[in-house]
Every structure is written in structure tokens, then in C-alpha cells.
Structure 1
Amino acid sequence: MTKQQQDEPPILPEEAVADDSASIGGSSTSESQASLRSSILDYRRENGRTYHRMSDGKYAFPNDAREQERLDTVNYVWMLTLDGDFCLCPKNDISAKRVLDIGTGTGVWALDYADAHPETSVQGVDLSPIQSTYVPPNCYFEVDDLEKEWTWSTPFDFIFCRDMNGSFADWEGVIAQAYKNLEPGGYLEIQDSIWPPVCDDGTLKEDSALYKWSHLLIEACDIIGRPINQTNKRPAMMEAAGFEEIKTTRVRFPISPWPKDQKLKEVGTANQVQLVHGLEALTLGLFTRVLDWTKEEAMVMCLEVRKDLKNLKIHAYWNGYVVYGRKPLSSEDK
């Protein structure tokens, strides 16, 4: 158990439990833009799932309807965890002028923030054009590769990033680009979980399917250079980039509704739903491409992990971190 885990009380279980981007939603008569849109929408198919085409292979998880539903459930898990807040930095209550949501996914966070802050311009960016085309007038979506140079000409005053663990090979570079594209006094906030899941009472055994699966995912992500177990290093990365007033909040995501605490029970219920229904999305690409498993072997592993996720006697949870920092009011871009 880490010192940070020791500093907080354990979760108690219930007693006796059994810009150069392709714009989405816009219209264009340009043949080149039409060709680009067609190529982006030509998803790659693998193991019965679809994956992004732009910068093919960078993102290991699918983008199909089942995954979109899971991503929306993950957003709900975060909203429960943060008591309905969009973020923990001051831009939750004080409207930003220009917001950038990097790795927007289905765009649900960007859409909700835009609805709540109609005076704010909200821009979401992702490798996949899976966002709704029915958007408020102050919300826009683009398809772009955020690991390439950012080309926006006007700075933002709030950049938001959630659940991009395993997506970037160079987090320091992404954070540096965020710093460069913020106006002085602007905020960057990163919300993410850290792997593997942990346990305070020994009920997550090393021979359990959940334990083995999570460590295999860590191994696969390490092999492709996109680690999922370094979320706690983000504050140091932000400090190195030049951010100040960096604040870190730890949150916890139970794997199921096993906690006694009512809020954590609700979080665990929603988290169990997205995990049970999203196991193949998290597993198939990495296990078959990187670890050389067959699809059948990966599906058997998912079956065993699903049993653990439904076992309320396993009191496991993921730690999550919300980290935000401010670009100095007087600063020179690094």
C-alpha cells in the first residue's frame, strides 16, 4: 500500500455482502475536404469492432456505437464522482471564453459545458468523428492528431483533458503544447485514472482474473509506449512546462457497488456497467495486436474478468487524479 493510500481512510464495504483539422458537422464544396472526410470515415475493422483511420493505430480502442455508449457512461461516472461539476479548476463556475477539449470522444463533456456556458466557445478534438452533429451554436468539433503540432492561431483560456490514459506517447509534449496554446492566466485540467486497480483489504488476489488482466493491459501499453500507470506524474510534468498553482485531487472509482458509502456505491454501480459492457473494447486490440493472443483467448479472459467485476466480495477500485494548473499571468511561451 502506498503512502498516499495510507493517508486516506479505506473504502468500507457493506456488511455481510455476498485548425488544419477536418471540421465535423460543417459543409464544404472542396473536393479535397470531401476526400479527407471520406478517408476519415473509412474506419478500420478488426475483431468485429471499428477503429479510427486518421493516424491509424495510435489509439488502441474502438470507436463504434458500443464504445460510444461506454464512453458516455464513463462521463456519467465522472459527473457522479465530481458531484456534477465539469472540472475542479475555477472555470467550472467562472465561464471561460474559449475552451478546448482534447480527446473529446463522443463530445458529451464539450456539449454539456457549452450548454451550461452559452457565452463560451467550446471546441472538441478527437481522432474519430463520432460526435453528434446536433450541437449548440457555441460548440464545434474537429478531427485532428493532438500528438502533431497544434495549429490554432487564437489561444484558449481553458484546456480540458479527460481519460486519455494510454492515448499519448509523449505526455510532456502534449502538456507543453497546451501551455503554449493557453493565454496567460489560462488553466489546463487533466482528469484520469491510474492502473492497476487496488484494494485495501486483500480481497483482490494476485491469482484473480481482474488482477492478471489489469497487469497485462499495463504490459501491453508499456510495449506500445503509451503507459497507463503514470497518471500521478502529471503534476511534475505540468510544473516542468511552466504551470503554477498546481493542485491535485485524488478520487476513487470502485469496480462495483460494493462500498458502504452511498455516493461510492452509485459510482461503483455506473463504473461496473461501463466495465462489464466495455471489457472487449479495452482488451481485444491490445491483447491481439500487442500480446499475440487470439481473439478467442482474449474473449475467455474477458469472461473471467466479468465474473470478478460482478463479485461484490472483491473490494477493488481505481485511483483517479484531477490535476490542474494555471499559466502565469506574465509568461513567455516555452
Structure 2
Amino acid sequence: MANDAQLPGNDDGPDEETYYIGGSVILNYRKENGRTYHRLSDGSYHVPNDEQEQDRLDFAHHLWKLTYDGKLCNCPKLYGAKRVLDVGTGTGIWALAYADEHPGAFVLGVDLSPIQPEFVPPNCHFEVDDIEKEWIWLEAFDFIFSRSMNACFKSRTDFVIQAFKNLEPGGYLEMQDNGFPLLCTDGTMPEDSLIYKWSQLLVESTGLIGQPLDDAPKFKQMLEDAGFEDVHERKEIWPIGPWPEEGTKEHELGMWCQSITMESLEALSLALFTRVLGWSRARTLVFCAGAREELKQQNIHAYFDVYAVWGRKPAERGSA
């Protein structure tokens, strides 16, 4: 595990902020480039965990729900799940919503950072853990959910295999993520566009560290290769601006995606560009400011592909 001296770009120095749960230290938050990052499995996740980022995650939850017409998931476990695992729960907003809608289900949210609410429903629980390490839960789940986990895995395939092993027969895995880089079909996003370069640099930097940002189109094949059956893929788009026709769902999605993308520019870039690409904090901020100005102009008709993929673990032989 790299220490402070091994992670370049820490312009603000190796400041730490210690957090306690149950009287014991669980991690020292890293303060870097004016943002705060997790300390558990240090350096494995390159997005901040501070209040600004928590607000962004909660806004993104609304975008996801809008994408899927208010539904928390697409698989049959929209109803009837009993034991649910939310991988990379973040602020816990999805887990709390699912627990609220399904009082008969037990929902466990897991994340590297303890940024979830202290007071939660009795059927919802949060744990601080690294999902890339061996899973040691003794009881299987009947629904495992993963959303917005781009660039969080050294091997998404290994995660899918772990999920398969920890599902009960007939249980479901659903993964939701947007694709990278940005796409455009009408020629309004030239290759020298800063927002396009931003998305390409994210793909490049995450590729260099072996945590790919662009594997969402492979989700369906991953589930099938792991042994899931009845695998489905639902593909949508997120316009990064309100350029679609007014009054349409796409127009509303574009307004939300534009706002969230503006907040994402620095959040997704600061650690990756300084640690991996060797940029300074100042260069990164200037670049992000330029990309933000492009987004405000609304003349670039770019979009993200968005994927939801789900599949069922086969029932045991001889079962009904």
C-alpha cells in the first residue's frame, strides 16, 4: 500500500483527519489538493468522500431514479428481496431508500468510508470494508446491487464472481454504471473539446492504474461468463446538457446530468490527474474550469451511454 510520499500531487501536504467508530480508529482521512479522501485501502479509490462529494452522490441518486422512472432497480428484486447487499453504498442513500420501501428486507451497505447517517431504520445496516478483499459474510444474499462503481475495481470480473458465490440460488446481481468516454453523433463535440479530452484522460489514467473506467459495455458478458442466467441489459443515455427537445425525459435528464457533470469535473480528476498523470493541482483546476465553461455553452450535444445489467444465479438442481 502506498504511503503519502508515494502518491504525488498532494499539494496540501500529508494532512490526516482521524475518525472513530465504536471507540476505535478505523481510518485516517487523507487531505489532498483541498479535498478529503478515504484511508482504508489507501489510494484504491480516487474520488473524495467530503461533504461536497456526498452532495454530488445524492444528486446522482436522483438522476439514476429519473433514468429508471423512479425505480431503485430493474431486476425482479424490485420486489420481494429478503437479504440485500449494496456494494459501494456511498452516503447510503440507495440502501436507505430500498430499506424504506421494503421493511421486510435486511439491507447491508458497504463502503470504504463511514459517511452514512448515524440513525437508520432497523432493517438497514452499514459496514466499512473493502469489497475487493475476501468476502466473509456467513449468510448468502438474494440481491446484490452495485451502482456508480466505475474505476473502483482492479478486476470487475472478480467482483462478479464473488457476487455469484455469495448469492443464494435464484438470487440476482444488478450493476448500473455509465460508459466512458463521452459520445456525440452530430459533430458538435470536436476532438479538441475540453470536455471530450476530460473524458478521454479519465479513461487513460484509470487504464494506467489497472482500474478501468470503460468496462460497462462488458457487464453482460461478465455475468454470463460467471454463470448467471436470464441476463438482461438495459441501455439508456444521459445528455450532458438540456439540448434534447423541451418537455422530454431526455431534456430533464440532460439538465441533471449537466449539473452533476460540472460537480464531477474536479471530483473525478484531482487525484487521478495529479497522482497518475503527474499534473499539478493548478493545472488540473484550470483544465476543469475550461471544461466547465464548455458545458455552460450547451452547444455540444454529447452524452454518456448508461447501462443496467442484471442476471440470476441458477437454482440448485432438483429444486422447484
TM-score by length of 2: 0.91
How many angstroms does 1:240 deviate by?
1.2
Match of 2:206 in 1: 221
* Separation in 2, partners of 1:111, 1:79: 14
Aligned to 2:75: 89
Q: Secondary structure at the match of 2:49?
A: coil
**Cα distance between partner residues in 2 of 1:172 and 1:113:** 26
Are positions 1:330 and 2:286 aligned together? Answer: no
Query: For each residue in 1:223-273, what CA deviation from the matched residue of structure 2 results, as whole angstroms up to 9, or x when unmatched?
Result: 110111111111111111110000001011111111116211111111111
Residue 299 (structure 1) aligns with? 285
Once residues 211 and 276 of structure 1 are traced to their aligned partners in structure 2, the CA distance between those partners, rounded to angstroms, is 13
* Equivalent of residue 236 in structure 2, options 228, 246, 251: 251
Change (3 A) 1:258 1:221: same
2:180 alignment partner, SS class: strand
Q: TM-score, normalised by structure 1?
A: 0.87
Q: Distance in 2 between matches of 1:213 and 1:278?
A: 11
Aligned position for 2:33:
47
Q: Deviations over 1:8-53 (max 9, x none)?
A: xxxxxxxxxxxxxxxxxx974xxxxx33xx242x200100101001
Correspondent of 1:158 among 138, 143, 158 = 143
Point out where structure 1 has 5 or more consecutive residues left out of the alignment. 1-25, 29-33
Rounded to whole Å, the distance in 2 between the matches of 1:228 and 1:306 is 21
Pairing 1:190-201 to 2, within 5 Å after superposition: 190-201=175-186
Quote the Cα distance in structure 2 between the aligned partners of 1:274 and 1:95. Answer: 32
Q: Percent identity?
A: 54
Within the alignment, does 1:177 sit opposite 2:162 as a pair?
A: yes
Relative contact order, higher structure (CA 8 A, sep 6+): 1
How big is the alpha-carbon RMSD for the aligned residues of Structure 1 and Structure 2? 1.4
The residue identity in structure 2 corresponding to 1:130 is I
Aligned counterparts of 1:256 and 1:71: Cα–Cα separation in 2: 18
Equivalent residue of 1:215, what SS? helix
1:85 shift after superposition: 0.3
**Matching residue's letter, 1:206:** E
Which residue of the partner structure matches residue 282 of structure 1? 268
Count of aligned positions: 298
